[in-house]
């Protein structure tokens, strides 16, 4: 019974809509209190299996290369693995001094990388999944909004490198939904049409189908409208 309870504790994870679990941690950029230190801005907390591994190296270089792009969307990055601080520092120095990938080189990782030797943070966020590994964190991505609420979660296995364009797209799409009270369809990018929430009554449904407002209604439940790309970017991105 004790073994089952311990395994359930390891793989438990916070859900969309929950407040991000709080923790204090040592990082390559000093101590942080999460999510309290990030109140008022979005953050992405992500885990990787281990330092000095090739897939993780490619991911950290890509995230570091895109860090300014995320910052303009009011989003900070925080990495985590269960390696120690000195391993983190040595690995990040190696990335900057020696590694070239996908046209990127001399990449300096400036966002914090959490030391989690005890696995306390990884367990709080369900990053240790025994079916994949009992000693390494899977590739988890938590999107946390300015109110410290978890808005989206993406999990990848150890062998699969993440799509960072999709991570950025998801961030901007969620911020667009908040700002304009709309939903975003499959493969949405700024400038594409957005979806209006389904009508809540027969009267509203009929009104939408006959309205002269700039709605494109395929049926009463499926209505889209144009949302100018410049308007989206002006609202979302810092100037």
3-class secondary structure, 140: strand
Task: Say which of 56, 75, 217, 223 is annotated catalytic.
Answer: 56
| Residue 8 near residue 19, CB atoms below 8 Å | no
The pTM of the full predicted model, rounded to 2 decimals, is 0.88
Q: Is 223 a catalytic residue?
A: no
10 Å CB burial of residue 190 (0-12, 13-18, 19+) is: buried
What does the pLDDT read at residue 13?
84
Q: Please indicate whether residue 135 or residue 221 has the higher confidence score (pLDDT).
A: 221
3-state helix, strand, coil in the chain (%, to 5): 35, 25, 40
Q: List residues forming the annotated binding site for substrate.
A: 139
Residue 3 token pair: 């073994």
Q: String of b and e for 22-54 (b: at least 16 CB within 10 Å)?
A: ebebbbbeeebebbeebeeebbbbbbbbbbebe
Q: Give Cα 160 distance to the centre of its chain.
A: 16
Non-local CB neighbours of 19 within 8 Å, separated by 6+ positions: 35, 148, 149, 150
* Mean pLDDT computed over every residue of the chain: 89
Q: List residues forming the annotated binding site.
A: 139
What distance in Å separates the CA atoms of residue 171 and residue 161, rounded to the nearest whole number? 18
What does the pLDDT read at residue 217?
85
Domains, the chain, with CATH or none: 2-162 (3.40.30.10), 181-236 (3.30.1020.10)
pLDDT in tens, 61-112: 999 999 999 999 999 999 999 899 999 999 999 999 999 999 999 999 999 9
What does the pLDDT read at residue 134?
72
pLDDT in tens, 52-67: 999 999 999 999 999 9
């Amino acid at each position: 019974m004790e073994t089952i309870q311990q395994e359930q504790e390891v793989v438990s994870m916070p859900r969309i809509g929950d407040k991000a679990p709080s923790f204090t941690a040592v990082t390559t950029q000093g101590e942080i209190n999460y999510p309290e230190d990030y109140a008022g801005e979005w953050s992405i907390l992500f885990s990787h299996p281990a330092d000095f591994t090739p897939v993780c190296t490619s991911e950290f270089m890509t995230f570091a290369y895109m860090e300014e792009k995320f910052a303009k969307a009011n989003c900070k990055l925080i990495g985590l693995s269960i390696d120690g601080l000195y391993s983190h520092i040595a690995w990040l120095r190696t990335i900057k001094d020696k590694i070239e990938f996908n046209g990127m080189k001399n990449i300096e990782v400036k966002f914090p990388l959490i030391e989690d030797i005890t696995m306390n943070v990884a367990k709080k966020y369900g990053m240790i999944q025994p079916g994949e590994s009992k000693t390494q964190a899977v590739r988890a991505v938590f999107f946390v909004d300015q109110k410290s609420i978890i808005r989206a979660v993406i999990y990848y296995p150890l062998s699969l490198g993440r799509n960072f364009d999709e991570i950025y797209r998801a961030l901007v799409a969620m911020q667009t939904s908040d700002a304009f009270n709309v939903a975003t369809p499959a493969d949405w990018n700024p400038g594409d049409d957005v979806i209006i929430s389904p009508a809540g009554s027969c009267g509203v449904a009929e009104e939408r189908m006959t309205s002269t407002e700039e709605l494109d209604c395929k049926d009463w439940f499926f209505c889209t409208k144009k949302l100018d790309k410049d308007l989206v970017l002006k609202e979302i991105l810092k100037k």
